[in-house]
Chain A
Amino acid sequence: MPVTGRQCAEGDVRPDGDDVLAARAAGGERRALELLLDRHADRVHALCRRVIANPDDALDATQEAMIAIARGIGRFDGRSAFTTWLYRVATNVALDELRRLARRPRPAAAVPDSGVPSTIEESVAGRVDVDRALAELPEDFRVAVVLRDLCDLDYATIAGVLGVPDGTVRSRIARGRALLKDSLGNRVTAPERPRGDDE
């Protein structure tokens, strides 16, 4: 089953909930850290996969993000939900990786080009389209749309993760969605053009 953000448990304080496990992991309990990382590995990967179009680079970024989470868990103070903190760390790592990759000359196109052989199944072509459309999206818009529509975070949480005002988040999401729909063409219904941007 593909990953969606719907299972994100904000402020979960069950005995095996995120916040309890995070506190135990911060205290040095390795098993708690393991459980937390295992529970959220798919979400971290999904975020990295959609921010960084290349699957291999996304997997590397996922590893870096999980290491950053493991190393930084001691600094998680519980003031925000664990998932908010986790998405913040993962987003920063993914963006760092994206910028690093942008500086590095690539031997081949990182994102598959439009020359998809006709023998490849429609679903594969669809994934290629999405990867390419996301890659064409400005970084700020891409991250905002991914956090909203893939991770299902609300605007306030995204604003906290990205460190920008709510209005900026709304604007980025509206413009990102419109550009994405334009780019994907008939895969989605015609976009409603955004009416402005506050940046």
Chain B
Amino acid sequence: MSDPHPPTPSEDGRDEQLAALLEVEPLDELTRRRLVDTATRQGARRSWVKYAVAAAVVLGLAAGGTALLLGRSGDHPTAARPSVRRPGGALAPGVPSPFAGSAAGAVGLPVDLGDFGDLSDPGNLSRLRAAAGAASRASLAQRGAAELAGPLAAARACAHPSAPITAVATGTVRGRAAVALASGVHVTVVVLSPCEVRSVAP
């Protein structure tokens, strides 16, 4: 593409008249502080999640390897047992990881529905409910269980869900990280830091 009519030097410069009209008042100190703090926290949280994922993967592989070795020895009854998680998503010590056996992953762990973006958006929530409904009826592939461990634990600690969590999704609400916990078709959106629980009608 080319410009058949290159602008004159004056057109090349800034239009001061428009610039003056377009000027925007600076943010007030409180708003600026809030924006910066939230963004910094979210950035740091991402780093933390990366480390948590790496740690969880290492832990999972180590536990899986141990379970595999014990299973091969043929005398350990827990080798093929499904995984067990403590409330909050942490792996219970002394039990195989969800990565250890073929039956694991389908038992006791919520299905990861993925990231749904803005969880205050009605369209996204609608898609989320549909996905949660599908997850409660069918067994979906377990993805990223380790990655979800941290956010899931934080969401559980915030929401104290009474019903078993069948599926989980991530997203944001007004720029804050959020986790959606689904029990069947009932979805609760949990905004992390500070803790805020929003129930979504099925």
Contact = CB atoms under 8 A, between A and B. Distances in A.
Contact of A194 (B5, B31, B118): B5
Contact of A195 (B5, B15, B122): B5
Interface residues of A, number: 59
A152 to B, nearest CB: 6
A171 interface: yes
A146 interface: yes
A150 B175 contact: no
A148 B174 CA distance: 29
A115 interface: no
B5 A150 contact: no
Contact of A50 (B2, B5, B22, B35): B22
B127 to A, nearest CB: 13
B1 interface: yes
Given A177-B18, A189-B17, A63 B39 contact: yes
Interface string A34-56: 10011001100110011000000
B161 to A, nearest CB: 27
B40 A188 contact: no
Given A34-B40, A38-B36, A196-B4, A45 B22 contact: no
Contact of B14 (A38, A103, A134, A149): A149
Interface stretch (B42-50, B60-68, B186-194): B42-50
B33 to A, nearest CB: 8
Contact of B22 (A64, A146, A170, A189): A146
A127 B7 CA distance: 29
Interface string B91-131: 00000000000000000000000000010011100000000
A67 B42 contact: yes
A86 interface: no
Given A170-B3, A174-B11, A62 B42 contact: no
B25 interface: yes
A73 B43 contact: yes
B19 interface: yes
A168 interface: yes
Contacts of B36: 34, 37-38, 41, 66
Interface string B7-39: 100011011011101111111000110011011
Interface SS of A by simple majority = helix
Given A149-B14, A170-B6, A66 B1 contact: no
Contact of B42 (A70, A155, A171, A199): A70
B39 to A, nearest CB: 4
A146 B172 CA distance: 28
B15 A177 contact: yes
A71 interface: yes
26 contacts: A1-B26, A2-B23, A41-B27, A41-B32, A41-B35, A46-B23, A62-B35, A63-B38, A63-B174, A103-B123, A104-B122, A104-B123, A126-B21, A130-B22, A149-B15, A149-B18, A149-B19, A149-B22, A150-B19, A167-B1, A168-B1, A170-B12, A177-B18, A188-B18, A188-B21, A189-B17
Interface of B: 1-7, 11-12, 14-15, 17-19, 21-27, 31-32, 35-36, 38-40, 42-44, 46-47, 118, 121-123, 172, 174-175
